[in-house]
Amino acid sequence: MDTPSYFPVPPGVGMEDNFLSLDDILLSQERLPVRTECVFPRLGFLEKSSDSQDIQEGTKMELPLWLCKGLYEKKRKVLSVELPKIYKEGWRTVFTADPNVVDLHKMGPYYYGLGSQMLHFDSPENPDIAKTLLQTFIGRFRRTMDSSQNAYNEDTSVLVGRLDFLEKVLFKSGQSGLNGFQGWEKGQAAQLTASSLVLNYRKRKIVDIQS
Amino acid sequence: MSDALSEDGSDINQDDSQEDVMTPAELIDKLEQAWLNEKFSPELLENRSEVVECVMEQLTHMEANLQRVKKGDAKAGFHRMEIDRIRYVLSSYLRSRLQKIEKYFPHVLEREKSLVEGQPSLLSPEEFAFAKEYYANTETYLKAVALKRMPPNLQAVDMLKAVPEPSLDSFVFLRVKERQENILIEPETDEQRDFVVDLEEGSQHLMRYRIVAPLVSSGAVQLI
Amino acid sequence: MDPSEVEFLAEKEFVKIIPNFSLDKIYLIGGDLGPFNPGLSVDVPVWLALNLKQRQKCRILPPEWMDVEKLEEIRELERKEDTFTPAPSPYYMELTKLLLNHASDNIPKADEIRTLVKDIWDTRVAKLRLSADSFIRQQEAHAQLDNLTLMEINTIREFLLDSLNCMYKLRSNLQPGATKGQFADY
């Protein structure tokens, strides 16, 4: 039986993110197109395309999600965040027609995660975005399931290649269920192996002795 | 040796007179139910120290008896196999509790703090000590590797917010042990309406843990 | 849950054996077994039966359902019906594997039984995937699954429950007011 020695904190998926989740930290680095709604004094050096000392009001630039969330305020407009195109109406229509045709890895890879985070920024389109995210997930579920349950011992890179990050996590949990069962059926579970914790511990001890 | 339980069983189960007459076989069943429930419930369940202690006593008692048995006794082998099986369930049960404590430690400790007089604690004394130590170690570690290098106003981490809470809205698979009527199922979407189901004895279901949580702790349903 | 733990639970099922030794009743913690008399059938848990078998102390009598004709009937019914029919035993998959791997010489037509059980399993698991997809698609709140066995549930558990969790979170996006506060502050 394989018991991991460390249980990573899972991503928050919805609007809330998990502070200790590595996946959510990576997600927070995603860049968003923004427009400044006031002057950012003496920060001109951050914006390579102009020589001015300040970042002028109305400048278009890209900022990571974590910074956008920190600077965004409903009452006092510091910046406005634009929707990445994958969440705009044009793409939403594509998703409604057939969610399975889209390569979410290329377009994302944090399609669901980033989409949910976008709901933090006020927009009349938010309800539609939320609806599309849910419908896309449901529409693609069957394919994620079938590929994860049929792909035992096969090259899964093509299948996985088009999945969003979240779908990939699900794909893996589907695969581990399948692999666990097939391994049991073949009698692999009957063979005892040393836990990875023990193996690593031995290695560490050797290193300790050497140093 | 089959009635070894009765000598010590009475003082442990004062508050639950039904359990006074539990046979060892029923005790093992109880342990297995607790094991499966703990494995599959999203939150940490109330500790079953009384069951754990009784099982430990049974095992110690049986092992002491086996010491006295002659070598090559066929029965001893049967007993040892059974002991190994029970021991596996016991340690797997305790281990799955420790895993949950590690996963949800700030929330587990918070709940202990807010216990009302007379409300039972979720943790055994040993688990409580483990949770406290785990909390302290995590804090010390975070401080040593990162926080002490941060600006002073950013050196605190609110563990209750940083560590995700158990999600009671998770779905669970369950088998009904005692028939239940009129269980209210809330709708998933705006277009649906709520409805009620009867849970027949022996039937199996998939639904949200939140709905059946009280039935899990009362033993009316078994998570599978 | 690890499949070997499901197997562990299956090993508690009782099976009939014909011992070739004699032994008085034994008082296990989980209940009494025996007495054992050569040639007389007696009920024991599978874990003990397999141990005795490996030490050539007994012959195992296959459970009633482990029979080519019965399994063929079950297979046809399973293929015909859209819903799950009652499984031959709540642990049919595990018991088939255990008994065929360790006592195939005591089970007539072992190979045919292996194939039949695998066919039944495949049909049921395909149905299970269909119903999982429809459960997600309809966004259902409750499903009754009386005839599913633990091993069947176990193959899809993690995937289905994780997916339902993700779906729940994406759905709560539709009511943004419901989440706590705008930005969490650690």
Which CATH number goes with the domain that contains B156? 1.20.58.1030
pLDDT in tens, C19-56: 999 999 999 999 999 899 999 999 999 999 999 999 99
Q: Please give the ipTM for the structure prediction.
A: 0.91
Beta-carbon separation of B1 and C184 below 8 A:
no
Residue extents of the structural domains in chain C: 3-173
Domain end call among B163, B187, B204: B163
Q: What is the pLDDT of residue B145?
A: 94
- Gap from C64 CA to chain B (nearest CA, Å): 22
pLDDT band at B22 (very low <50, low <70, confident <90, very high): confident
B55 with B119, same domain?
yes
* Chain B residues with CB-CB distance to C186 below 8 A: 157-158, 161-162
* Chain B residues with CB-CB distance to C180 below 8 A: none
Q: Which chain C residue has its CA at the smallest distance from A15's CA?
A: C173
B113 with B145, same domain?
yes
Total number of domains constituting chain A: 1
Domain end call among B111, B136, B163: B163
Partner residue facing A20 (CB), from B99, B102, B163: B163
B199: helix, strand or coil: strand
The token pair that represents B77 in the structure block: 């082998």
Within-domain flag for A16: no
Domain end call among B134, B163, B192: B163
Within-domain flag for A17: no
Containing H/E element for B200? none
- pTM for this one? 0.88
The token pair that represents A48 in the structure block: 């390579």
* Chain B residues with CB-CB distance to A19 below 8 A: 157, 161-163
Partner residue facing C29 (CB), from B28, B161, B224: B28
- Gap from A74 CA to chain B (nearest CA, Å): 23
Interfacial C residues in 22-81 facing A (CB < 8 Å): none
Q: Is B163 on the interface with A (CB under 8 A)?
A: yes
DSSP secondary structure, chain A, as one string: ----S--PPPP--SSS--TT-HHHHHHTT-EEEEEESS-BTT-GGG-TT---SSBPTT-EEEEEHHHHHHH--SSS-SEEEPPPGGGSHHHHHHHHH-GGGS-HHHH-SSHHHHHHHHTTS--TTHHHHHHHHHHHHHHHHHHHHHHHHH-TTS--HHHHHTS-HHHHHHHHHHHHHHHHHHHHHHTGGGS----HHHHHHHHHHHHHHH-
pLDDT in tens, B136-181: 999 999 999 999 999 999 898 899 999 999 999 999 999 999 999 9
Q: How far apart are CA B192 and CA B186, in angstroms?
A: 9
pLDDT in tens, C86-143: 999 999 999 999 999 999 999 999 999 999 999 999 999 999 999 999 999 999 999 9
Within-domain flag for A75: yes
Q: Which chain B residue has its CA at the smallest distance from C32's CA?
A: B2
pLDDT in tens, A19-32: 889 999 999 999 99
Within-domain flag for A205: yes
B135 with B204, same domain?
no
Q: What is the pLDDT of residue B3?
A: 42
pLDDT in tens, B97-114: 999 999 999 999 999 998
Total number of domains constituting chain B: 2
Note down the domain range covering B101.
5-163
Within-domain flag for A2: no
Q: Which chain C residue has its CA at the smallest distance from B168's CA?
A: C165
The token pair that represents B22 in the structure block: 């539990």
Within-domain flag for A70: yes
C147: helix, strand or coil: coil
The yes or no reply on domain C3-173 and CATH 3.40.50.300 is no
pLDDT band at A154 (very low <50, low <70, confident <90, very high): low
- Gap from B164 CA to chain A (nearest CA, Å): 7
Burial class (CB in 10 A: 0-12, 13-18, 19+), C4: middle
Q: How far apart are CA A165 and CA A88, in angstroms?
A: 20
pLDDT band at B60 (very low <50, low <70, confident <90, very high): very high
Strand partners, B185: B195
Beta-carbon separation of C47 and B170 below 8 A:
no
Top pLDDT among B16 and B206 is at B206
B187 with B93, same domain?
no
Note down the domain range covering A86.
22-210
Q: Is C170 on the interface with A (CB under 8 A)?
A: yes
Contact present, C14 and C50 (Cβ < 8 Å)? no
B129 with B209, same domain?
no
Within-domain flag for A1: no
User: Between A and C, how many residue pairs show a Cβ–Cβ distance under 8 A?
Assistant: 113
Beta-carbon separation of B185 and C47 below 8 A:
no
Q: What is the pLDDT of residue C55?
A: 94
Query: Would you list which residues of chain C are within 8 Å, Cβ to Cβ, of chain B?
Result: 1, 5, 8-9, 11, 21, 23-24, 26-33, 47-48, 51, 135, 139-146, 148, 150, 153, 157, 160-161, 164-165, 168, 171, 184-186
Within-domain flag for A130: yes
